[in-house]
Amino acid sequence: MGKNIQEEYSDIIQRNGAINFIGSSNRDQFNEMGQEHFDYLLTEDLQPHHVFLDVGCGALRTGQYIIPYLKTNHYFGLDRMPELIEFGLNDVLAQETVFEKDPAFMVNENFNCDFVNKPVNYVWCQSLMSHLNTEDIKLCLKTLKTKLAPDGKIYFTYFQQDNLSREDSDQQSSHSKKDLKYSSDIMDNIVSECGLVKEFNGTIGHPRGQWMYICKL
DSSP 64-119: HHHHHHSPTT-EEEEES-HHHHHHIIIIIS-HHHHHHH--EEEE-SS---TT--S-
Q: Using CA atoms, how far apart are residues 6 and 13, in angstroms rounded to an integer?
A: 11
Find all residues with CB under 8 Å of 20, minimum gap 6, and list them. none
For residue 120, give the nearest of 159, 77, 80, 161 by alpha carbon.
77
Span 119-138, average pLDDT: 95
Task: Show me where the domains of the chain are located.
Answer: 5-216
For residue 78, give the nearest of 42, 47, 114 by alpha carbon.
114
C-alpha torsion angle, residues 53, 115, 75, 99 (rounded to 10): -160
Q: What single-letter amino acid sits at 57?
A: C
Question: pLDDT tens digits, residue range 137-196?
Answer: 999 999 999 999 999 999 999 999 998 888 888 888 887 667 899 999 999 999 999 999
Q: Which fold has domain 5-216?
A: Rossmann fold (3.40.50)
Residue 1 has pLDDT above 50, yes or no: no
